[in-house]
Chain A
Amino acid sequence: MSADARLGNPNQHTENRTRRRSPGWSGRLAERWRGIGLSLVVVVATVWLGVTGQLGLYIHPRYFGFTLVMAALGLIFVVASFVVPSPATAQSRSPRRNTFALGGSAVLLVVAALAVLVVPPATLTSATATQREVNSGGLDTAAAADQAATLVGTGDYERLSVKEWVSLLAQSDDPALYTDKTARVTGFVLPDSDDPENVFYVARFVVTCCAVDAQPIGLPVYQPGWSTSYSTDDWVEVTGHFAANPSATSKDTLAVQPSTIEAVEQPSDPYVY
């Protein structure tokens, strides 16, 4: 037994066996079940998100297939590890480290299970958006503007999304191009950090890989005193036309002058890709 080797007293092996079994057992338990427990938590969460159609809250749709296949394989291995008996080999560790290992593993597992299995799935909030400057990246503007141009060709401007308007504005913010056009867009309310009292963005997150790389994009809406009726992170549908932005401090030269702002439910697919 490893502990004996550490203590350098092989003669005590037999007598002390019973006494030392407990720490050895706890260390082995930690070694054996820490990874399997964490894997179980992750694969169950992944499969459940996939089945309930919420995987898009975390990763880009192009990975759905791969992620679910690997989760299924992981699930098989997790169940198999309950069936296949573990071999007798144990890590050579002191009893104290074994107890630490078991305690640490248990804490990690409980925290992980709470975060992954109990906290309801959620979209990112404006707290993250404010850390990442709006419209500073995230869009392959050329490709998105091409898409938008196709829609513009149909003359149906109300079908353009936040993403398409933002890419059009990134190409040109010449007021003449936008004056008579009406936008109807859905997004969450994100205050403009330069003029939070008068201007907010109808914002969405653009995701290229997973939520960790989400970049906020948004259309500026000029509505003094908006915060009396809406709060940050509320989902709204804004209808209005573009005009020169009256705000003195906002960086955007154009803003939507809203004719209506309606509260809406968060869409099932809150991110754009």
Chain B
Amino acid sequence: MHRDRGTVRRVPTGLILGVVLVALAFLVRALSPSFAGWGLPDRAQDTVTLALSVIIESAPFVFLGILLSTVVQVWLPHGFLTRFLPRQPLLRRASISLLGMFFPVCECGNVPLARGFMVGGFTVPESITFLLAAPILNPITIITTHQAFGFDNGILVTRIVAGFVIANVIGWLYSRHPDPDSLLTPDFAASCARPEQNGHDHDHPHPHGDGRMQKSVDLFARETAVIMPALFVGSLLAALTQVFVPRSVLLALGSNPVWSVLAMMALAFIVAVCSNVDAFFVLSFGSTFMPGGIAAFLTFGAMIDVKMLALMRTTFTTRTLVQITALVALMSAAAGLLVNYVG
């Protein structure tokens, strides 16, 4: 490999190659509609359309998450974030669950960001707390939920409180885990353990200028290599469930206090809408479903759905994800039932 030699000569070649490939992609896209009559069967066509809509909707948030993660790992001084956090573990996780206020990137963008936090010194339970809390406890989600529901039926308050409580309870449970690193996939655990890869070499100050740019671009390449395939697979799964599971089955259950909660959680799981906007989506079901169902949708769906699981699988083991999903589902259902029976 002649990577080390001829860096100066490589620059223009790389630029030309990059631009040519981008132009080629545009050309393929611009010319392909003229091959009309691909004649995909309706269901296949709709699967592509639905998957693509999730990808186009989520990819900007993924990019934003990666960019913020890059800022945290490469451009902020090491330990900048942890410096301001309390040391007492409970208070520390409580503060971390509010970090979403400064990083309103939606749940898909939170995955690269949480990875960045772990590389940057957060413990595993702390990152899980962030991952679960940030989609709900962020300004955009709170504003859109308020726009959609106001303070009606305690939906907004339930969402905020349940989001905070669930994230902290799960963070606390995992903080008692004897070996938190075993919750991570081996690949990710390894990249956390390698100091030279994470841009925070303690012995050396930050590289400047070109070094940081190179690290940022490299981080973009590495994070997209992990997250983008998961996004594609997750979106495809979401699309397939949409095409093959009749939604009317779920909607028939809306007026029962228990079933409305479970049906809305199932809907949240398969629809996989971003937490920043799910309030508008679920608003249209407000007449069909009891408020507890809506609250459960807004709580559970923000933390867990079919696309999120694919994204989180890049970082956590399947076993961990099953546990987290079960815990979030139980607590969200409890919150929803509370609204239906007490509220």
Contacts and interface: CB of A to CB of B under 8 A. Distances in A.
Interface of A: 21, 25, 30-36, 38-49, 55, 57-60, 63, 66-67, 69-71, 73-75, 77-89, 91-92, 105, 108, 112-113, 115-128, 131-133, 136-141, 206, 208-213, 215, 233
Interface in B261-309: 271-274, 277-278, 280-281, 283-285, 287-288
A131 B242 CA distance: 8
A115 B51 contact: yes
B269 to A, nearest CB: 13
B42 A87 contact: no
A79 B32 CA distance: 23
A89 B219 CA distance: 12
Contacts, number: 256
Interface stretch (B20-28, B120-128, B316-324, B331-339): B20-28
A83 B33 contact: no
Nearest to B67: A73
CB-based closest 5 A-B pairs: A35-B224, A82-B18, A70-B60, A35-B225, A211-B53
B161 interface: no
A70 B63 contact: yes
Contact of B53 (A30, A59, A75, A131): A59
B295 to A, nearest CB: 17
Contacts of B33: 120-121
Given A136-B288, A206-B284, A212-B239, A67 B221 contact: no
B229 interface: yes
Given A83-B18, A84-B214, A131-B243, A38 B187 contact: no
Contacts of A138: 284
B229 A212 contact: no
A81 B49 CA distance: 29
A117 to B, nearest CB: 5
Interface of B: 1, 3-4, 7, 10-11, 14-15, 17-19, 21-22, 25-26, 28-30, 32-33, 35-36, 38, 40, 42-43, 45-46, 48-57, 59-61, 63-64, 67, 187, 190-191, 194, 196-197, 213-214, 217-218, 220-229, 232, 238-239, 242-248, 251, 271-274, 277-278, 280-281, 283-285, 287-288
Contact of A48 (B19, B30, B283): B30
B59 A137 contact: no
A151 to B, nearest CB: 21
A32 B221 contact: yes
A45 B46 contact: no
